Structure 1
Amino acid sequence: MDRKDGCMADKNDAFYIQQHLANERTFLAWIRTALAMKGIGFLVFGVELVINSGNGAGGPVAIGVSMISYAAGMGVLISGTVLYFKNRRSINDQKFQSASGTILTAGILVTIVLSALLFYALFVYY
């Protein structure tokens, strides 16, 4: 089926418009989660620079938390992207299965980032 922009659309996409739109919204939520996780790392590092001018004992810890946050955010972003394309294919094939492994991985990564943030707060302020 031809679209107005000249691209060919997959015929199956038209049959499952609602599911594909929901899949896209879910992908955007994965992106927001990844950006939030990366933002935590930048926030911790920025706070460390302002409070201790980079010379405090928390400097290496802040860098560690920032790196953990960035890596976890990248993990969530990559997982969300892979999951989006997997879901797109499975929606068209009518073989959709929930992604419990990806959800568990994202939950673990968020827990790691929040634990690192707690560790940083306890290390620096107590």
Structure 2
Amino acid sequence: MIRSYSDHAANERTFLAWLRTGVAVIAFGFLIDRFDLFVRTMAAAVSINPADRAQLEALSSHLGHGAGQGFVLVGIAFIIVATFRFVRTGYRLDDQKIHPPGMATELSLSVILAVLLLVATIPLVFPGLF
């Protein structure tokens, strides 16, 4: 039997939650990027009247493309950080020393994700800005 099995199982559940979050952030970034490409393609269609084309062009911006790529990169960072965190916590569970908790990585990733969400919503709130 593994010593402190419940702690190792909790570490693995936390790791899997981080992985799910990373994959979800990557999927959301991919969705934003592909939707922006779809809107640009629809705006370039020949059969659309000029008023509808202008409205579609207002929805599409380079900001959406950049935000999509940013979400993909942050999702990849989530997965990398989760892997390092899982391995480090596994070693610390087997160690007898008391280790201080660290939240710098989690806090910085949360701030980056919040900033990306704000950047992604700017075209929705202010459509004429870009």
Normalising by structure 1, we get a TM-score of 0.76
**CA gap 1:41/1:115 in 2 versus in 1, 3 angstroms:** same
Q: Deviations over 1:3-23 (max 9, x none)?
A: xxxxxxxxxx81111001000
What is the CA–CA distance in structure 1 between the aligned matches of 2:112 and 2:80, rounded to whole Å? 12
Q: 2:116 aligns with which of 113, 118, 124?
A: 113
**What CA distance in whole angstroms lies between the structure 2 residues aligned with 1:50 and 1:44?**
10
Match of 2:9 in 1: 21
Question: Take 2:123 and 2:61, find their aligned partners in 1: how far apart are those partners?
Answer: 10
Match of 1:18, as an amino acid? S
Q: Distance in 2 between matches of 1:31 and 1:61?
A: 26
- Distance verdict in 2 for CA 1:18–1:96, change over 3 Å: farther
| Aligned mates of 1:47, 1:20 — CA distance in 2 | 40
Q: Which 10-residue stretch deviates more, 26-35 or 54-63?
A: 54-63
Separation in 2, partners of 1:52, 1:123: 18
Of structures 1 and 2, the larger Rg is shown by 2
CA RMSD of aligned residues (A): 2.3
State the identity as a percent: 25
Partner of 1:38: 26
Partner Cα distance (1:41, 1:125) in 2: 23
Matched, 1:104 2:116: no
Larger relative contact order, structure 1 or 2 (CA cutoff 8 Å, min sep 6): 2
Q: Paired residue for 1:84, among 83, 86, 105?
A: 86
Equivalent residue for 1:48, pick from 36, 40, 56: 36
- Map of 2:74 onto structure 1: 72
The C-alpha deviation readout for 1:69-117, integer Å capped at 9, x for no partner, is 0111111111111110110000000334433112212211221221222
Q: Quote the offset at 1:32 in angstroms.
A: 1.1
- TM-score normalised according to structure 2 size: 0.74
Unaligned stretches of 5+ residues in structure 2: 45-56
Instruction: Tell me the number of residue pairs that the alignment of Structure 1 and Structure 2 aligns.
Output: 114
1:117 partner amino acid: A
Uncovered stretches (5+) of structure 1, i.e. residues with no partner: 1-12
| Contact 1:65–1:120, Cα closer than 8 Å, also in 2 | no
What letter matches 1:111 in structure 2?
A
